[in-house]
Amino acid sequence: MRNRNYIIIGVLAFVAALVIGVLIILDGLSGMGNPNGSRAPDYPYFITTEPLTIRNLNLPKGTKLTYEESFFKEGQQDRIMSEKNLTTIELPKGKPIIWGGVPVYMFLKFFNPEMKGYTVSADFEKLPKNQRTKFSQIWQNCGGELAVLVNNTEDWSFNTKNIVDVSSCSVIYQRFFKEDEEQQRFLDTLLKELKDNGKNQTK
């Protein structure tokens, strides 16, 4: 009788170990492709069902709003969430909005909480030649992503009074490299043209 109990306990232990092993393998597979090996967060997001004004931007229906990671919510939501937790705005494919005279399709809040600003991504293929400005040409020369520092993080519009500096233009030009005079001159020029472009738009 005692031997029989030992056999049953042994079988149950083996099954438990097998189940745990399978779960570990599945968890490892789900993390493949992620640099740290863990499962990527399923950030909550909302697809707008009507035109809305968010962060002082007039957004069309179908815009994707992504928010900070939440313990209680993940994936697509059926209701819009708090704007204070907004991290990304993605315009519908083929429907950019105009920012500084340039068609743009994405806004991304800085992840570093010590930096007040965001990155805006341009689609220069949708910018007609007769609408190009010195600002758009300089921006296009360094790539599509422009990072700006602002006073008011609730305003992502092309409000040149709110924009205090250009933090970077793609990965080519960075304010971080203070000792690189070429990078600093380029960003200074880009900031000047950004400000001038804002003045021209208000005339």
pLDDT in tens, the chain (203 residues): 545 544 554 444 444 444 344 344 444 444 444 444 445 678 999 999 999 999 999 999 999 999 998 778 889 999 999 999 999 999 999 999 999 999 999 999 999 988 999 999 999 999 999 999 999 999 999 989 999 999 999 999 999 999 999 999 999 999 999 999 999 999 999 999 999 988 777 54
> Do 73 and 148 fall into the same domain?
yes
| Residue 199, SS3 per DSSP | helix
In angstroms, the CA 53 to CA 75 distance is 22
Number of domains in the chain: 2
157 and 107 Cβ atoms separated by less than 8 Å: no
- Residues in CB range of 83: below 8 A, 6 or more apart: 54, 55, 154
Pair 35, 47 in one domain: no
Residues 120 and 34 in one domain: no
Asked if 92 and 119 touch (Cβ cutoff 8 Å), the reply is no
Q: Tell whether 1 and 68 lie within a shared domain.
A: no
Smallest Cα–Cα separation from 89: which of 73, 112, 69, 66? Answer: 66
Q: Do 25 and 66 share a domain, yes or no?
A: no
Site of tokens 């993940």: 74
118 bridge partner residues: 109, 148
Same domain, 25 and 45: no
Positive or negative: CA dihedral 173, 175, 176, 181:
positive
Contact 155, 162 (CB under 8 A): yes
Report in angstroms the alpha-carbon separations of 30 from 25, 35, 36, 42.
9, 12, 12, 12
Q: Is the domain of 138 the same as that of 84?
A: yes
Distance CA 184, CA 181 (A): 5
Print the domain residue range for 109.
41-202
Same domain, 133 and 175: yes
Q: Is residue 69 located within the same domain as residue 24?
A: no
The verdict on 80 and 166 lying in the same domain is yes
Q: Are residues 11 and 59 in the same domain?
A: no
Does residue 49 sit in the same domain as residue 21? Answer: no
User: Distance from first CA to last CA of the chain, Å, rounded?
Assistant: 96
3-class DSSP state for residue 182? helix
- Determine the Cα–Cα distance for residues 104 and 127; give it in Å rounded to an integer: 10
